Amino acid sequence: MQLFTTPSKKGTPPVRLFQSTLENAIDAVVIIDDQNRVTFFNKAAEALWGYRPDEVLNQNVKMLVPERFRAGHDDLVERNRTTGQDRIVGSSRDLKLNRKDGSEVSVSLALSKMRIGNSWGYAAFVRNISAEYDSLNRLLDQVALSADSVSISSEQMEEAATKVNDGATRQAAAAQEASASMEQITANIRQCADNAAQTEKIANNSLTQAESAASTVQDAVKAMGEIAAKIGIVQEIARQTDLLALNAAVEAARAGHNGKGFAIVAAEVRRLAERSKVAAEEIVALSRLTADTSSKAGKELSELVPEIQRTSDLVSEISAATQEQRIGSEQINSAISELDQIIQSNAAAAHQAAATTKNLIEGSEKLKAILGSFRDAEGNINRSAGDEAANAA
């Protein structure tokens, strides 16, 4: 049985309308009977395959099937007739067909099944999608190229971010160590400043005491001189007393027995005068020795006072410099603390950048996987991969 082998003017108007519609359809339409013979081959099919209708009509449809499917095509169709397993019928698929001149063309194929007596015939609706495939191929190639570029750039960025992250981590550790060391140095300088200030006070007190001691020694030397002068008067009194005692002894000797008691008194006075003279001489010697020692001590103290003054000035300068160092070290410590915070922030940012780059790499890999899903194992575009790609995304 054949369907629409040749146009029939005797057919009813609905049949002619149906035939005319299929004949002028923009998609290629091929109808086969229950023997897999072509019974209808419209103009679009002629343009698609490059065959004339008389070359195809009444021929087995497998001449139009891609070469790799021809061997088992009849068995596949017959299995569908007998079992009703519609793996292809009622759906559409993309594939490549071979034209009469040997070239390939990408098409979208949809099969319909229709009852013919006790068997089944089939109608194939084929649309040329080569232009769509070419555009999609170019798009996929460009996107794949961009994805590869993004992947390479991401890997380079990840490597750079890793280095920055490592450097920032080392910087953060070094900054923390420097901050801790600077805090210790600042504490030491602060302690030195406090000690210098205390030393300055002690030096100033020592200077005051040394000046006071020098003045006291000078007063002592002056007092010793006065004591020596007073002792000289005592010596003179002792000498005069001794002379008077001698004269008294002479007069007592002249007086004889009456002057005997007076002579004894005179002798005692003379002995006291001699003892006073000796004591005065010893005191004078001691006074002179003390005066010499005090004078020497006063001279040494006088010479020491300028040195103590110089020491006090130097301690004051050291104290002032230490105070400046303390202020500077505290400023440096504050700056290092701020730098440490900045480095810590940079380290966190570098870590975040590394994580972001890793996510970008994973995203590019997913994108390449999604792009790969748009092609089958033979490199053909699989337009039905959209849902799978969306799920993967």
Each residue's pLDDT expressed in tens, for the chain with a length of 393 residues? 445 444 444 555 677 888 888 899 999 999 999 999 999 999 999 999 999 999 999 999 999 998 888 898 888 888 888 887 766 677 778 888 999 999 999 999 998 888 888 888 999 999 999 888 788 778 878 887 877 777 787 777 777 777 777 777 787 777 777 777 777 877 887 787 788 778 778 877 777 877 777 677 677 767 777 777 777 777 777 778 877 777 877 777 777 777 777 677 777 777 877 787 787 777 777 777 777 777 777 777 677 778 777 877 877 788 788 788 878 877 887 887 787 778 778 778 777 877 887 787 787 777 777 766 666 666 666 655 544 554 554
CATH class of 154-373: mainly alpha
Q: Which of 48, 351, 73 is nearest to 343 (CA)?
A: 351
Round to whole Å and give the CA distance between 123 and 34: 11
CATH architecture of the domain with range 13-128:
2-Layer Sandwich (3.30)
Q: Which of 167, 147, 97, 171 is nearest to 354 (CA)?
A: 167
The CATH 1.10.287.950 domain(s) of the chain lie at 154-373
Task: Flag whether the pTM goes above 0.75.
Answer: no
Round to whole Å and give the CA distance between 193 and 274: 67
Query: CA dist 145 to 6, 64, 67, 193, 382, Å?
Result: 52, 36, 33, 68, 19
Q: Which of 36, 82, 89, 43 is nearest to 61 (CA)?
A: 36
**Number of helices (H), then strands (E), in the chain:** 8, 5
pLDDT of residue 122: 92
With residues binned 3-state (H G I as helix, E B as strand, rest as coil), the percentages for the chain, rounded to 5, are 75, 10, 15
The CATH 3.30.450.20 domain(s) of the chain lie at 13-128
